[in-house]
């Protein structure tokens, strides 16, 4: 890309570049970088009742030392990773259907997916609360087909949070994988088939590696926001489905302990960074691009 830009005669001068980029960069610095830097400072100060204290590691010591916090971190990771794996399992077949076999249904299906993304997430959450209720549709249905005798407790469990997270962002997992698969040259698949590859081999050796960029994009735009989600645990998670974001919300609003709240926020940032890094490593995107 950069070669094309620099070789072209259309490139504008540096002064114009500065003029064009000034307002977005300034907005970013003042309202994004500024608050994050100040939040970093808050996470290193004791700022409860006494007022702005001096530099301390207490918040991080507390956050990383207390076993209660650690079990909440672990629960959060288990819940979000499970949801993400389910999303991949559901999204990959849908994305490959969309990319290779949908035909005239391709655009209507894409439109439907985009639509689900535009629907209000809080309304969706509310609807799922009704679905998973003790007297809810799900229990009624399972009873009707004779699978269960008495209503299951689904609402206010980890499972409920996983269900809500996994159904909330399907569009954003399908679309990047679809976009990645769409660039796959069909003849590659045919070549693999002619060389005697079964569908498992085609999947493993051709489609999944080529769709890797789509998976990474999905992890960035879906998994990371899951870690920020405190509405879902609050509405369907109850005590059992309590997550790290719920904890942060509580520190900031109910307890007013901004130091610990900020430190916890940076733990969220660290977890997201590690997850994105790990997914890049696992999918070997670097090797593919090299």
Partner 1 sequence: MEHAATDGARARSARPVVRQVFWTIHRRELVTRVASAIMLAFGALILFGPFLLLAFLSFNDSQILAFGFRGFTTRFYEEALGDAAMRESLRNSLVVAGLTTPICVVLGTLGAFGIARFVFPGRGLVAGALTLPLVVPSLLVGVGALVTFSKVDVPLSLYTVAVMHIVVGFPLVMAIVTAALFRFDRSLEEAALDLGATRRELVWYVLLPYLVPALAAAAIFVFGWSFNSFTVTFFTVGSERMFTVWVFSKLRRGTNLPTVNAISTLVTFVTVVVVYIAYYLLRRSAVRSGQDVRSLVAGGPQQ
Q: Enumerate residues 204-223 that contact partner 1 by CB under 8 A.
A: 220-221
Burial classification of residue 127, based on how many CB atoms lie within 10 Å of its CB (0-12 exposed, 13-18 middle, 19 or more buried)? middle
Q: In angstroms, rounded to a whole number, what is the distance separating the alpha carbons of residues 32 and 84? A: 28
Q: Which of 74, 85, 122, 274 binds partner 1 (CB under 8 A)?
A: 122
The CA dihedral of 170, 172, 176, 182, to the nearest 10 degrees, is: 60
- Is residue 280 near partner 1 by the rule CB under 8 A? no
The residue from 56, 82, 153, 228 that contacts partner 1 (CB under 8 A) is 228
Cβ atoms within 10 Å, residue 59: 24
Q: Is 203 helix (H, G, I), strand (E, B) or coil?
A: helix
Q: Which is nearer to partner 1, 139 or 283 (CB)?
A: 139
Is residue 238 within 8 A of residue 25, CB to CB? The reply is: no
**Least spacing, CB of residue 121 vs partner 1, in Å:** 6
> Which 143-202 residues touch partner 1, going by CB under 8 A?
167, 170, 175-176, 178-179, 182-183
Does the protein bind partner 1 through residue 258 (CB under 8 A)? yes
Tell me: does residue 130 bind partner 1 (CB under 8 A). Answer: yes
For partner 1, the closer of residues 88 and 266 by Cβ is: 266
Do the beta carbons of residue 40 and residue 266 sit within 8 Å?
A: yes
Confirm or reject binding of residue 136 to partner 1 (CB under 8 A).
yes
Closer by beta carbon to partner 1, 17 or else 74: 17
- The residue from 50, 123, 200, 290 that contacts partner 1 (CB under 8 A) is 123
38 binds partner 1 (CB under 8 A): yes
In whole angstroms, give the CA distance from residue 88 to residue 224. Answer: 15
- Report if residue 268 touches partner 1, rule: CB under 8 A: yes
SS3 45: strand
Among the residue ranges 55-63, 75-83, 86-94, 189-197, the one whose residues contact partner 1 (CB under 8 A): 86-94
Spell out, one character per residue from 18 to 37, where the chain touches partner 1: x when CB under 8 A holds, - when not. Answer: x-xx-xxx-xx--xx-xxx-
Q: Which stretch binds partner 1 (CB under 8 A): 5-13, 55-63, 189-197, 200-208?
A: 5-13
Residue 205 structure tokens: 């050796």
Q: CA 230 to CA 225: how far, in whole Å?
A: 10
Of the residues 49, 50, 111, 200, which one makes contact with partner 1 according to CB under 8 A: 111
Query: Alpha carbon of 91 to those of 96, 166, 198: distances in Å?
Result: 8, 10, 21
């Amino acid at each position: 890309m950069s070669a094309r830009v620099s070789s072209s005669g259309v490139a504008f001068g540096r002064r114009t570049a500065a003029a064009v980029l000034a307002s977005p960069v300034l907005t970013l610095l003042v309202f994004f970088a500024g608050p994050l830097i100040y939040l970093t400072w808050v996470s290193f100060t004791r700022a409860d009742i006494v007022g702005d204290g001096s530099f301390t590691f207490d918040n991080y010591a507390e956050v990383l030392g207390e076993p209660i916090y650690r079990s909440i971190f672990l629960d959060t990771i288990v819940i979000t990773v499970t949801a993400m794996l389910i999303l991949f399992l559901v999204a990959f077949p849908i994305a490959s259907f969309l990319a290779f076999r949908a035909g005239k249904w391709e655009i209507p299906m894409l439109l439907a997916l985009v639509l689900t993304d535009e629907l209000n997430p809080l309304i969706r959450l509310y609807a799922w609360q009704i679905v998973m209720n003790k007297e809810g549709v799900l229990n009624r249905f399972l009873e009707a087909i004779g699978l269960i005798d008495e209503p299951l407790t689904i609402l206010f469990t980890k499972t409920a949070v996983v269900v809500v997270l996994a159904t909330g962002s399907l569009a954003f997992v399908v679309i990047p994988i679809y976009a990645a698969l769409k660039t796959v040259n069909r003849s590659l698949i045919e070549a693999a088939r002619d060389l005697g590859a079964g569908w498992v081999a085609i999947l493993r050796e051709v489609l999944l590696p080529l769709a890797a960029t789509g998976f990474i994009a999905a992890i960035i735009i879906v998994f990371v926001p899951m870690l920020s989600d405190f509405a879902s645990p609050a509405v369907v998670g109850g005590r059992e489905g309590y997550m790290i974001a719920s904890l942060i919300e509580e520190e900031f609003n109910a307890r007013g302990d901004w130091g610990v709240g900020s430190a916890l926020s940076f733990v969220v940032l660290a977890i997201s960074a590690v997850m994105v890094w790990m997914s890049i490593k696992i999918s070997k995107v670097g090797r593919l691009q090299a």
